[in-house]
Amino acid sequence: MCRYAMYGPYKDIYACFSCRKVYKQTSKFELDKMERDKVCYSCPQCGKLMNDMGHDFKAPKQSDVKQWKKVEILYQKGFAYHSCGCNGPGYRPSRLNEVECFLTENRKFESAGERLLHTLTER
């Protein structure tokens, strides 16, 4: 059985890319349906909206700007650190210079139109 399902609600990990900090917040599964739809967590330091990184996210040191940039790029392209707890979120590049190759090999399309456009331009 999956670790996160087995041991009750875990706090969700949110990151602020501006401040390069992470905060654990109340899991959306602990909130009722009306609250769940409205919840948006802001960074306590700068006030910007924070990003839901997933339970398996391990934050880099605050001073490691390149690693934070890598994490931000991956997040913006749809690669967070969500999993059920069994096998982790899968491979993520360890260095910033590996991100472009990773994104090319693991392309995520946001819409059916984007998939079609990509298929047509590759021919």
Higher model confidence: residue 116 or residue 13? 13
Q: Mean of the pLDDT values across residues 22-39?
A: 72
**Phi/psi of residue 87, nearest 5 degrees:** -120, 5
pLDDT band at 116 (very low <50, low <70, confident <90, very high): confident
Number of independent structural domains in the chain? 1
Higher model confidence: residue 20 or residue 3? 20
- What is the pLDDT at residue 48? 94
Q: Given a cut of 80, is residue 91 above it in pLDDT?
A: yes
- Domain around 79: 3-122
3-state secondary structure the chain: CCHHHHCCCCCEEEEECCCCEEEEECCHHHCCHHHHHHCCCECCCCCCECEECCCCCCCCCCCCHHHHHHHHHHHHCCCCCCCCCCCCCCCCCCCHHHHHHHHHHCCCCCCHHHHHHHHHHHC
Q: Mean of the pLDDT values across residues 4-22?
A: 81
**How many angstroms separate the CA atoms of 62 and 98, rounded?**
20
